Structure 1
Amino acid sequence: MTPRWFNNLRVQIVLLLSLALFPLAAVAIYQTGRVEDESTRNAELALLALTRSAAKEEELFIQRALGVARFFGTVAGDLMDDPEACVEKLQSFVSGNSNYSFLGVVPPSGIMTCTSAGGEFDASTGPYFAQLMETKTRTIVANPRGPLSQESIFNISEPFEIDGEFSGFVSISIPHRGMPKASLDLEKLGLVDLLTFNASDEILTARNSMENAHLELPVDWTFGSLRSLRGHAFKSVNQLGETRTYTVVPIQGSSATVLAVWRTDKGPAGQISDIVGPAVFPILMWIASMAVAMISIHTLVLRHIHRLRHNMDEFAETRSVETLTDYAAMPNELQSLVGNFERMTDDIMREEAELEDMVREKNVLIKEVHHRVKNNLQLISSIMNMKIRAAQHDETKSVLMRLQDRVLSLASIHRDLYQSKHGGMANVGALVSDIIENSVEIAAVSDDSIRVETDVDPVLLYPDQAVPLALLVAEGMTNAMKYIGDTGTSKPFIRASLKKEGDECSLRLENSVGLRPDAESTGLGKKLINAFAVQLGGEIHLEDDGTIFTLRLRFKIEEFVPDARDF
């Protein structure tokens, strides 16, 4: 039977140890995941702190601009009464502060006469004018090309009141060229860009380039989403397909929000570790446990079992046992097993030697019995031969000769069993040939007076069938020699065949019946032949067509069945 793979000791140990280590692995994965989550949260908090620190300069810029706008809002009423003085004061302020490129007062009509640029300017055609006058709230917008400064700016519009009524906005423009750049320390920590957004998520400022700032935005970015993420950190992919970490912090005192873009330096190995990171330690622990278990099993058990199995196979095939040199290195249980095996082999070899002696002695005794029986039967045949020569009547001689044939047949069987090398089986083929030859020699007048044709196979039978078959052939030959005669055209003949067909055997005896006077028949021969056929368990057919007498017998070859023992 082919061994099943799951019955292998190594496979079963791996499965059982894996089952035993599963709870530990689950706890380890859970704890590792918690540690990684905590580490990730701490890293996000650190990035948020760095973002707040980096956004301080933008926050100061915007808060200062708001302070300037609120200050001029308090004096806007006086300034609007004297446009020339207003222009002079605003120009003086802007020329003294390089951080601002424009400062002006926007009345509800939109016609600006009090600006740092001088002259009159109609703001009602601007894209945000209608919204400003409708909402009447502080607004911060960006413009890649200011209408007066003609450079990239972001504009703060602060509403003001006169005598408690809304009277317009103070508009102040801050050029992007004056915004602070990202420090080298932050760049080393992975800062890619620092963007400022207004309430509508429009980019106000960028530390690097306003033209390319939108490329660093997350692909899933939508208007209004940044306000809901204030004070959070998240990972996403930018417009170029690169993984980035984003942190969002608000600017105090305004509707602006700062978005910091951080580099995530992780290749394929780092991405894989994000997936299997918590499982790395349990996997390594499992591999180490399996390695230790396999080495231990092989060292302590399997190699000794393989040697013991090899010794068992050698003993089964050659009855030899190899002495184990590392007997002391075995565990006590295996030492006990090896000791039992050695005692068992000693007992088996001793018992087999005794059995061989018994079998040899039995064979010698059996051969001696057959030899003595053969000698006794030959002695009886010799005595009968003496009686035949001393007999005065032909009938007496005929009866004694027939008895002598039967005795010689039995002697031939015991001689064959004595000389047999087939485990107590007799070669009835040779026996039949001998019986036919002896019968012809005794009864024939001369060697060439009878033509004999034989076709005999070497059939092996146990004595239970060999004896009745030999006696049947002897009786058949006696009858044949008694009634044989010539047909007038050819010599008398005897044909004999013995064939084995599978587990069956067939015998055929034929003799010619011719012009010879019929001998007196007693019927004893036919009775004996039928009796011997019954002992063989076969079917016999006798045919006589006037010229040829045929005896046909077919029987099944039986196995040896020992007699029941009496206990």
Structure 2
Amino acid sequence: MRRAMWRNPFRSLRNPSLRLKMAAVLGVALLPLGVISVVQTYNFGMGARELSRTALLAATERAASQERSQMLEALEASQSLGLIVLDLLDDPDACSRMLANYVRRSPDKVLATFQSTTGRMICASQGLGLDLSDNSIFLRLSEEPRQIITIREAGAISQRPVIVATSPIYREGKLMGYMYISVPRGILSDTPEEDEALQEGFSLVLFDRRGMIIATETGDEKPENLLPADMQLASLTASRSFTFPARSSAGRLRHYAVVPLLAEDIFAISSWDPNMVPYDGQRGILVPLIFPMLMCIVCLIVAYISVDRMIIRPISAMRTAMAEFELGRRRFSPKLRANAPGEMQELAKGFLSLAETVAEDEEEREQALRDKNVLLREVYHRVKNNLQLIVSIMNMQIRNAATPREKRLLQQLQERVMGLSIVHKNLYQATSLASVRADNLLTEVVRQLVDAGAQRPQGLKMTMDFDQVTLYPDQAVPVALLITEAGTNALKHSGEQDARTEVSFSLKREDDNMVVITVRNTRTDDTPEAQGSGGLGTRLIEAFARQLDGELERGEENGIYTLRVRFRLEGPPENGNGTNF
């Protein structure tokens, strides 16, 4: 009987399947390519993001370039005009007339004044003689004399919104005073022509260090709606340019660029529609990173499917076929080689050839075994028939015997031949020609012995107790003949007229594969000769015990004679073809 092969559906991680191993190998093989692609894409995204940031800052600077130029021009004008005023400080009227003429000739100028270091206005295009020592601009200049740009909602003299450009004036290293030039606050110029593509969704606001708006270019939108929510403009003043994404006060996502225009005084902030910024924050970097990741995943899937179809599936089919081969299947479909690479087809071809060869050899062996069984059964049958013929001849001889002794001797010999005949009868009738059931064999031998024996006592009580033990011919023949001789002696010496006459036969299997044969019989005082006294039957019993390589025990106790043979049960003979008679 073939052993069924059981497969555990859950493989141990210590012994992963081929699919798992191939997936791991492909993953490791593609990992460097994936890492390189992701790193390069990330670096490209960071570079593009920096370029985008630089472009936004540059566009913001260009958009505010005209206003910056005007402010720088105002500062330069205040510096130049201040140097001219130094020569007219001794004549305030002449100085004031010169400044008035300068303002009149410059439509973009509102006021020009010179203020002493004490805060008194020395000369001016208008408002001469005012004391501005408590003016916020003057106080800032007193703490840190430098060029500054300030925004006033209402000028101290002009009373109109102005941008004031102030420069400290020195003579031979000594601070002489401060030159003020006021220009009107107005609307910023349009976006330069080279940035027309950026005009849509773009707005610009100029503000000072205090967060006060100087000028705007926001179209129809209010500046407040385009500025970042929850952020004060004063918090955006820095000495460097930067960009950042945020939501506007209107709740829309915008991208902002902040550029310092004049040192730490004037700044420009531009607001951009996010759709105009290709690499906007993390969103702009993560989106390009998705492509190489997807590419690596797709490559891994394609490679895995290819390996699965070309290697794993053919190997799995071969494994299944081998498992079925182990369970007894010998014929397989040629489709086992279909859709497989050349190497796998050669492997499948070799397996199919092996399976066909094994199937043919097994068929030949099975046919030879069938022929052998038929022949062996025929041999057993013919031997049994020949022994029956000998028994019949001996019957004829017994009927013609001259004396009772001669007749008894012939009957004993006939019983031995019949024992051999019964063995061969059981062999050719058995399912397995190489073995017989001891209980069936010995039951038939004893019954044949009692039925055919001429010395059966009157009132005999006979018992049989045989275990189901399988005997092979090398032991079945001596066991049958030993029971025949022992039974003949038991019937012979058990007495003829005693109602207590008993004979028992048993065969028991013990531990360690040992078997015990026991024959018991009662004895009477008029038994003609001692049982086991050395006659032919006794010598035959001893010979059969030696053939079984067994231990023979005999004895009598309380009128019961016991014969016991203990031997080891053997397996089938090594030649596997029956017995050695």
Q: TM-score, normalised by structure 2?
A: 0.74
Matching residue of 1:546: 558
Number of aligned residue pairs: 553
- In structure 2, C-alpha distance between the alignment counterparts of 1:467 and 1:35, rounded to whole Å: 97
- In structure 2, C-alpha distance between the alignment counterparts of 1:99 and 1:487, rounded to whole Å: 167
Q: How far has the Cα of 1:59 moved from its partner?
A: 0.3
Q: Among 457, 466, 483, which residue is 1:456 paired with? A: 466
Matching residue of 1:475: 485
Contact 2:481 2:544 in 1 (8 A): yes
Q: Among 513, 530, 537, which residue is 2:522 paired with? A: 513
Q: How far has the Cα of 1:505 moved from its partner?
A: 5.5
Is 2:67 the partner of 1:58?
Answer: yes
Q: How far has the Cα of 1:410 moved from its partner?
A: 1.8
Contact 2:515 2:567 in 1 (8 A): yes
Is 2:172 the partner of 1:160?
Answer: no
Q: How far has the Cα of 1:181 moved from its partner?
A: 7.3
Contact 2:122 2:128 in 1 (8 A): yes
Matching residue of 2:291: 280
- In structure 1, C-alpha distance between the alignment counterparts of 2:454 and 2:136, rounded to whole Å: 150
Q: Name stretches of at least 5 consecutive residues in structure 1 with no aligned partner.
A: none
Contact 2:202 2:272 in 1 (8 A): yes
Q: How far has the Cα of 1:87 moved from its partner?
A: 10
Contact 2:119 2:133 in 1 (8 A): yes
Matching residue of 1:106: 115
1:196–1:88 CA distance, 2 compared to 1 (3 A): same
Matching residue of 1:434: 444
Q: Among 407, 418, 421, which residue is 1:411 paired with? A: 421
Q: Among 142, 145, 148, which residue is 1:139 paired with? A: 148
SS at match of 2:61: helix
Matching residue of 1:375: 385
Higher mean alpha-carbon deviation, 267-276 vs 47-56, is at: 267-276
1:325–1:350 CA distance, 2 compared to 1 (3 A): closer
- In structure 1, C-alpha distance between the alignment counterparts of 2:199 and 2:19, rounded to whole Å: 52
Q: How far has the Cα of 1:430 moved from its partner?
A: 0.4
RMSD: 5.0
CA displacement 1:235-284 (0-9 Å, x = unmatched) = 56689999876656554799755454545458999846624735623641
Q: How far has the Cα of 1:456 moved from its partner?
A: 2.9
Which amino acid counterpart does residue 284 of structure 1 have in structure 2?
M
SS at match of 1:159: strand
Contact 1:536 1:555 in 2 (8 A): yes
Which amino acid counterpart does residue 60 of structure 2 have in structure 1?
T
Q: How far has the Cα of 1:419 moved from its partner?
A: 1.5
1:410–1:283 CA distance, 2 compared to 1 (3 A): same
CA displacement 1:367-417 (0-9 Å, x = unmatched) = 222223223333333444444444455555444434333322222111111
Contact 1:218 1:236 in 2 (8 A): no
Higher mean alpha-carbon deviation, 392-401 vs 203-212, is at: 203-212
Higher mean alpha-carbon deviation, 331-340 vs 348-357, is at: 331-340
Q: Name stretches of at least 5 consecutive residues in structure 2 with no aligned partner.
A: 1-6
- In structure 1, C-alpha distance between the alignment counterparts of 2:437 and 2:400, rounded to whole Å: 35
Contact 2:457 2:495 in 1 (8 A): no
1:456–1:121 CA distance, 2 compared to 1 (3 A): farther
1:261–1:401 CA distance, 2 compared to 1 (3 A): same
- In structure 2, C-alpha distance between the alignment counterparts of 1:519 and 1:145, rounded to whole Å: 164
1:383–1:268 CA distance, 2 compared to 1 (3 A): farther
SS at match of 1:178: coil
Is 2:302 the partner of 1:294?
Answer: no
CA displacement 1:206-260 (0-9 Å, x = unmatched) = 636489967586999787xx32x35xx5556689999876656554799755454
Contact 1:99 1:178 in 2 (8 A): no
Q: How far has the Cα of 1:452 moved from its partner?
A: 2.4
Q: Among 550, 557, 565, which residue is 2:569 paired with? A: 557
Report matched runs for 1:8-407 at 5 Å.
8-22=17-31, 24-25=33-34, 28-29=37-38, 31-33=40-42, 35-70=44-79, 72-74=81-83, 76=85, 78=88, 82=92, 86=96, 93=103, 104-112=113-121, 118=127, 123-126=132-135, 129-141=138-150, 155-161=164-170, 165-172=174-181, 178-180=186-188, 188=199, 191=202, 193-196=204-207, 205=214, 207=216, 209=223, 215=229, 226-227=238-239, 229=240, 235=244, 247=257, 249=259, 251=261, 256=266, 258-265=268-275, 271=282, 274-275=285-286, 277-278=288-289, 280-281=291-292, 283-284=294-295, 287-288=298-299, 290-291=301-302, 294-295=305-306, 298=309, 317-324=328-335, 332-334=342-344, 336-337=346-347, 339-407=349-417
Higher mean alpha-carbon deviation, 418-427 vs 309-318, is at: 309-318
Q: How far has the Cα of 1:433 moved from its partner?
A: 0.5
Contact 1:484 1:516 in 2 (8 A): no
Q: Among 480, 487, 494, which residue is 1:484 paired with? A: 494
Which amino acid counterpart does residue 560 of structure 1 have in structure 2?
P
1:454–1:151 CA distance, 2 compared to 1 (3 A): farther
Matching residue of 2:3: none
Contact 1:216 1:238 in 2 (8 A): no
Higher mean alpha-carbon deviation, 339-348 vs 240-249, is at: 240-249
Contact 2:458 2:496 in 1 (8 A): no
SS at match of 1:69: helix
Contact 2:519 2:562 in 1 (8 A): yes
Q: How far has the Cα of 1:140 moved from its partner?
A: 3.3
Q: How far has the Cα of 1:301 moved from its partner?
A: 5.7
- In structure 2, C-alpha distance between the alignment counterparts of 1:97 and 1:335, rounded to whole Å: 96
1:323–1:371 CA distance, 2 compared to 1 (3 A): same
Contact 1:51 1:260 in 2 (8 A): yes
Which amino acid counterpart does residue 118 of structure 2 have in structure 1?
S
1:84–1:211 CA distance, 2 compared to 1 (3 A): farther
- In structure 1, C-alpha distance between the alignment counterparts of 2:42 and 2:123, rounded to whole Å: 63
